[in-house]
Amino acid sequence: MFYAFVAMVIGYSLMQFVFTPYTQSHPISAPIGKVSLDLSNSEAIVRAMMLFMAAIIGSLIPAYRMTKRSLLDLIWGAN
């Protein structure tokens, strides 16, 4: 969970302080016009929480499966 949290903080910081200001000062030319990033804080927090929940679920399922096996089976490598 620590790595997921650190990755969210780093990703949010990069988005808010590097990518968004850069694309606003240098917008991307597209057929529909100039395009730049605009991410509100509430949007970023909601998406970060969804990512964190996915990390929790993704780590709890394998951990739960491993706790159902016998310790000796795990040590000896038995299936």
Tell me, what amino acid is at 48? A
* Closest alpha carbon to 38 in 13, 7, 9, 15: 15
Enumerate the domain spans of the chain.
Answer: 2-76
Q: What is the pLDDT of residue 28?
A: 87
What is the average per-residue pLDDT within 6-32? Answer: 89
pLDDT in tens, 34-79: 988 888 888 888 988 898 899 889 888 888 887 887 777 777 876 6
Residue 74: count of CB within 10 angstroms of its CB: 10
